[in-house]
Amino acid sequence: MDSIIVRGNGALNGQIPIAGAKNACLTLMPATLLSEEPLTLTNAPRLSDIKTMTQLLSSLGAEVSDLQDGKVQAMSSHNIDNHIADYDIVRKMRASNLVLGPMLARLGHAVVSLPGGCAIGTRPMDLHIHGLEALGAEIELKEGYLHAKVPAGRLQGAEITLSFASVGATENILMAATLAKGTTIINNAAREPEIADLATCLRAMGAQIEGDGTSRIEVQGVDRLHGATHPVVTDRIELGTYMLAPAICGGEVELLGGRIDLVGAFCEKLDAAGVSIEETQHGLKVSRKGDRIRAVDVVTEPFPGFPTDLQAQMMALMCTAEGTSVLEEKIFENRFMHTPELMRMGANIEVQGGTATVTGVERLKGAPVMATDLRASVSLILAGLAAEGETIVNRVYHLDRGYERVEEKLGNVGAHIERVDGV
Ligand code: EPZ
């Protein structure tokens, strides 16, 4: 397993290009199952999770080709000859469950392994199941697999109210509803930008959708969808992650392709902490306003609130801020696994249930640390950028799931960072 070595090396300066959004691409790719005609995604990120989704769609019979160095996913699901999403693939990546809705809409049946828990929580699928059952699916759990079918032959539109604004459940129900007979309304829908991006792609395929980006989405089902070409939206979590690099190290970095509307609540917190964010012709330019970052409190919420996927990275900034910061994680039940590793670097953090209290110290000290999940691993890289001495982040396969060429992007703005092949 590879490791990444980071040495605190002072201010960062230059430009970092932001890729297409992993979490948009992972719901856009299953949308190919909704049509016999080809769907092409441009600006796709080059990540191991995208390769896993490619593997899953191919196992179902879709043809997926990575063009232009993986930045274009050209897909055709003319012949879907398998309706079983196997545990071996699904267990590697929860987003595999996003083939369920499209397969029910297109084929009328599907067998999808439950993803099982992951490092950050149990991650059940009850909201997905209730929504799809409301559309006329019959879903039964047998030996770890969801066996789903549509007795009426075609899904029927319905009004669905989600008890929690689940991103994945909204995506699964939305995709299924595009081919259902009649009208579907999703109340308390997730409002993440990836939902709007999916709806834009589905409309390009001929779907009739209104209200995406709000908490009430209305879908008029159609008989079939045609092919399309769609650009994947910018990755707001990669954007927020790299905005923190100059905030932690000093200097000035321009995030190419960055859009302030994707990171509103996050930018408000950075501004309060003493970070300057300037919109430029090419993206967002970020630097510190003064000498030291101020502590701010954070509560993670569904969009447009502070994103849970930036909580670990924000904590890395708070570790050396002036004052005490309280970070409350309200989306996942176990998303503080970066804290023991940050404490190995000298951070002063106290965790009580879903709340972490961080008292800033002058400077962290480099140490060997362990990546445990995708966002925790990048928070350790960020902490190492300004720490005294050397930080070795192990098990960086977690990192490669969601960040393209992290050592190249940070190295290009002056970070001392290198990947060491695992033994
Ligand atoms: C998506 O996961 C993202 N993944 C996650 O990003 C992100 O953290 C999450 O949304 C929240 O923004 C992708 O888009 C591929 P949820 P998802 O359904 O859809 C509970 C990353 O780092 N829940 O909104 O799984 C669930 O347990 C990843 O890129 C149910 O209880 O998130 C969790 O506590 C991590 N029942 C909360 O809701 C359900 O049926 C949020 O889940 C579904 C979810």
Residue 184, amino acid:
T
Spatial CA neighbour of 97 closest among 136, 131, 134 = 131
Least-confidence region, from 70-84, 211-225, 232-246: 70-84
Nearest residue by C-alpha to atom 17 in ligand 1: 168
Beta bridge partners of 229: 40
Nearest residue by C-alpha to atom 44 in ligand 1: 166
Distance of CA 109 to the CA centre of its chain: 27
Spatial CA neighbour of 246 closest among 281, 272, 275, 279 = 275
Q: How many CB atoms lie within 10 A of CB 72?
A: 16
pLDDT at 91: 86
Half-sphere exposure of 33 (CA within 13 A, CB side): 35
Q: How far apart are the CA of 166 and the centre of ligand 1, in A?
A: 6
- 3 state SS of 250: coil
Q: How many CB atoms lie within 10 A of CB 295?
A: 20
pLDDT at 117: 65
Nearest residue by C-alpha to atom 9 in ligand 1: 167
Q: Average pLDDT of 5-29?
A: 96
Kindly give the number of the ligand 1 atom that is closest to the alpha carbon of 237: 29
- 3 state SS of 7: strand
DSSP state of 360: -
Flag whether pLDDT at 271 surpasses 70.
Answer: yes
pLDDT at 225: 97
**Does the annotation count 118 as an active-site position?**
yes
Work out whether strand 39-42 and strand 228-231 pair parallel, antiparallel, or are unpaired: parallel
pLDDT at 120: 73
pLDDT at 78: 86
Distance CA 367, CA 344 (A): 7
Spatial CA neighbour of 21 closest among 233, 191, 282 = 233
Spatial CA neighbour of 410 closest among 3, 1, 15, 2 = 15
Q: What is the mean pLDDT of the chain?
A: 95
Q: What is the pLDDT of residues 171-192, one digit of tens each?
A: 999 999 999 999 999 999 999 9
pLDDT at 320: 97
Mutation test of ligand 1: which of 48, 93, 114, 167 has the most ligand atoms closer than 8 Å to its C-beta? 167
Distance CA 324, CA 359 (A): 4
Query: 168: exposed, middle or buried (C-beta count within 10 Å: 0-12, 13-18, 19+)?
Result: buried
Looking at 118, 249, 267, 319, which residue is catalytic?
118
Q: How far apart are the CA of 120 and the centre of ligand 1, in A?
A: 10
CA 360 vs CA 223, 251, 296, 350, 416: distances in Å:
58, 20, 11, 12, 24
Distance CA 85, CA 60 (A): 7
Q: Strands across the sheet with 348-352, in order?
A: 298-299, 324-328, 355-359, 348-352
**Residues enclosing ligand 1, CB less than 6 A?**
23, 26, 94-95, 121, 123-128, 164, 166-169, 308-309, 331-332, 374-375, 402
CA 339 vs CA 298, 352, 357: distances in Å:
15, 12, 10
Kindly give the number of the ligand 1 atom that is closest to the alpha carbon of 26: 15
Q: How far apart are the CA of 302 and the centre of ligand 1, in A?
A: 10
Distance CA 32, CA 84 (A): 16
Flag whether pLDDT at 243 surpasses 80.
Answer: yes
End-to-end CA separation in angstroms for the chain: 6
Flag whether pLDDT at 121 surpasses 80.
Answer: no
Q: Average pLDDT of 385-410?
A: 94
Work out whether strand 368-370 and strand 298-299 pair parallel, antiparallel, or are unpaired: unpaired
Flag whether pLDDT at 77 surpasses 90.
Answer: no
Kindly give the number of the ligand 1 atom that is closest to the alpha carbon of 126: 40
DSSP state of 244: H
Q: Phi-psi bin for 348: left (phi > 0), alpha (psi -120 to 50), beta? A: beta
Paired tokens of 47 = 């990540």
Q: What is the pLDDT of residues 318-373, one digit of tens each?
A: 999 999 999 999 999 889 999 999 999 999 999 999 999 999 999 999 999 998 88
Residue 172, amino acid:
N
Confidence of residue 277 (pLDDT cuts 50, 70, 90): very high
Confidence of residue 276 (pLDDT cuts 50, 70, 90): very high
Q: How far apart are the CA of 17 and the centre of ligand 1, in A?
A: 26
Taking each helix axis from N to C terminus, what angle separates 100-107 and 167-177, rounded to the nearest 10 degrees? 10
Q: What's 161-179 look like in SS3?
A: ECCCCCHHHHHHHHHHHCC
